Structure 1
Amino acid sequence: MSGQELDLDAYFSRIGYEGPRVPTLETLKAIHHAHALTIPFENLDVLAKRPINLDLASLQKKLVQDRRGGYCFEVNALFAAALRELGFDVTTLIGRVRWMSPEEVDTARSHMLMRVELPEGSYLADVGFGGLTMTGPIRLETGIEQQTPHEPRRLLEHEDGLELQAKIAGEWTPIYRFTLEPHRRTDYEVASWYTSTHPSSIFVQFLIAGRPQEGKWISLFNRDFKIRGLDGKAETRILDSADEIAEVLETYFGIRLSEEDKALAIEPYLDQWRAMSAG
C-alpha cells in the first residue's frame, strides 16, 4: 500500500465501525456518527508549533495509527478520503465560521466541510467542528429543521451562500456560512497554514478540544473543561496544571500526551490561560 492509499481496515478499526461498505445513505450516517464520536477535534500540534500536514499518509499516521485528533482540515480530509474509497461522490467545500462571532465581525474561509451526492439527494457532512461537530449528515435543503443524533440543524439562504445553524437549548445559533463552490487540497493547504500559524488565529493562542458523546458534548478550552447536555446545561471544571489537562485529554478525548507534548503544547501557555480566567 502506498502512502496515498487509505487503509480502510485500519480506519474502521479506529472508529469502531463494522457495518456494510457500500455507498448508501445508511452507511454514510453510520460512519459519520462513528467517526464524530471517536476521533476528537484538537489543536495540540498547532500549539506545539508542529507543521500540519494534509497528505493522506500524514493523516493516517496521526489520526489512525497514533490515535490522535485534529482540526477540520485534518479530520474532514480523512473522512472524505474514506467516503471516496467506498465509492461515495464527495465534493469538499469551505466556509466562514460564525459560531460565537458577532455579526459585525468578518471571518475568513477557514472551515472544511463536504457535500455528498446520493440517490436520495445532496447531503452536508462534517465531522470536524470542535464542540459542535455534527454527529450525522443533513440534507442540503434550506428552511427545514433536521434531526441529528444530537441537536437539530437547519440550513438557511444567506447573501454569503448558505448558513448552517444548530438549535441549542431551544435557540437557533449560526455555526458557519458556505457556498457550493468546490475546493481543492491546495485551497485547504493555504487556509490551514493561516489557521495554524497566524498570530491572530485562535488555534495559535488557545487549547481547543471537542468530542460529542452519546447525549452530551465534551469540550476543553484552555483550562475550562465542560460537559454539556443536549438541554444546554453544563458542568464546568477549571484545570490548574499541565498534568490535570493531560489527564482530562486522555480520559475524555482519548489523547495520550508525552512529556514533550506537555512541555511544548501546554506549559508555555498556562500563565496566559490563568490570566484569562482571572480577568
Structure 2
Amino acid sequence: MDIDAYLSRIDAERPDEPSLEALRELHRSHLETVPFENLSVHLPERIELTEKALFDKIVRRRRGGFCYELNGAFAALLRALGFEVTLLSARVFANENPGPPFDHLALRVDLDEPWLADVGFGRHARYPLRLNACEPQQDPEGEFLVLDAPDGDVDVLHDGKPVYRVERRARELADFVPACWWHATAPGKTFTRSLTCSLATATGRITLSGDRLIETVDGEQTERILAGDEILTAYRTHFGIELSEAPVLGSFPAPGPHPFPI
C-alpha cells in the first residue's frame, strides 16, 4: 500500500493516529473524489477483487468502481493507517425485503465504539454512522437510522426507507468474489442493464447515466443529454476518468466460467 499515493488520490492529509475525526475526513474525501461507477462492466474490463488490483484501478488509473471495489480499497487504506477494520456482508432491500447475502460490502471500523463506514453505495451517508446507535443520525445526505434486526443483524434506513441489512460476522475480500462476478455478468441485474458514473460534491452530486448528465446543486437538479465526444469530455472533466472510447450499454460479455473454485 502506497499510503501517500492513495491520500493524494483522495486529496486527504495523513492523520497522526486513528481517530473519529480522521475517519470522518477520509470518508468524506473518498466520496467526493472517487466515483461510484460500473464502467468496467460495459467496456468490458475484468474486475479483480484483490487489494493490489483495486489500488491500481482506483489510485494509479484514477478510476472508481462499485461497492466491492470501493470499500475493499478503502478498507486497505484504513488498515495501513492503523485503523481496525472488518469487512461485513450486507443484503440490499428490494420491495421491502432484504436481498441475498454478499449483495453489498460495508465496513465496520472500531474506535471508541464501532462505526459503519461505506464509500461504495452511491448516494448514502457522507460520514460514518454509529453502528450501535438507535437514535436518528443526521448527515448532509439526510437522516439515517441503524436498528436491530433478526439474527443479530442491523438494518440501515435512509430517510425512513430500509437500505440494507448488515451481518456482524467478519468476512474476507475473497468472500465477495462470486457476488461481484454475478453482478457484473448476469443479464437483467442492475449493473448489466444500466451505465452509471456518480460522484458526491460539496454542494450535491453529479451523475453521468449513459448520455444523461445530471447535476444537483443545493437541492436544485438540472439534466441534459450529451452527444458524441461530449460524453468522453464529461468523464474526464467531472470524474477525472480518461477513456479512449465511451462505454456502451449492453456490451458486457456473456457469463463465462466462474472465476472461483466450485
TM-score, length-normalised on structure 2?
0.87
SS at match of 1:95: strand
Aligned counterpart, 1:192: 180
Shift of 1:149: 4.0
Aligned counterpart, 2:256: none
Match of 1:179 among 167, 190, 194: 167
Aligned counterpart, 1:139: 130
Aligned counterpart, 2:110: 117
* Whole-angstrom CA distance in 2 between matches of 1:257 and 1:94: 32
Shift of 1:142: 3.9
State the Cα RMSD in Å. Answer: 2.1
Unaligned runs of 5+ in 1: 1-5, 270-279
The percent identity for this pair of structures is 37
* Whole-angstrom CA distance in 2 between matches of 1:199 and 1:181: 30
* Whole-angstrom CA distance in 1 between matches of 2:129 and 2:249: 40
Aligned counterpart, 1:274: none
* Whole-angstrom CA distance in 1 between matches of 2:22 and 2:98: 38
Aligned counterpart, 1:250: 236
Shift of 1:266: 2.1
8 Å contact kept, 1:122–1:140: yes
Task: Tell me: CA distance 1:85–1:19, structure 2 relative to 1, closer, same or farther (3 Å).
Answer: closer
SS at match of 1:57: helix
Shift of 1:158: 3.1
Aligned counterpart, 2:49: 54
- Number of matched pairs: 250
Q: After TM superposition, what 4+ stretches of structure 1 lie above 3 angstroms from structure 2?
A: 104-109
* Whole-angstrom CA distance in 2 between matches of 1:204 and 1:78: 22
TM-score, length-normalised on structure 1?
0.82
Match of 1:77 among 72, 75, 80: 72
Map 1:23-102 → 2, pairs under 5 A: 23-98=18-93, 101-102=94-95
Task: Tell me: CA distance 1:237–1:177, structure 2 relative to 1, closer, same or farther (3 Å).
Answer: farther
By percentage of residues, which structure has more helix?
1
SS at match of 1:247: helix
Task: Tell me: CA distance 1:268–1:205, structure 2 relative to 1, closer, same or farther (3 Å).
Answer: closer
8 Å contact kept, 1:133–1:212: no
Matching of residue 153 in structure 1 with residue 144 in structure 2: yes
8 Å contact kept, 1:41–1:70: yes
8 Å contact kept, 2:96–2:162: no
Task: Tell me: CA distance 1:11–1:256, structure 2 relative to 1, closer, same or farther (3 Å).
Answer: same
8 Å contact kept, 1:242–1:267: no
Task: Tell me: CA distance 1:83–1:238, structure 2 relative to 1, closer, same or farther (3 Å).
Answer: same
Shift of 1:223: 3.0
Task: Tell me: CA distance 1:267–1:41, structure 2 relative to 1, closer, same or farther (3 Å).
Answer: closer
Shift of 1:200: 2.4
Counterpart residue type for residue 222 of structure 1: G
8 Å contact kept, 2:88–2:167: yes
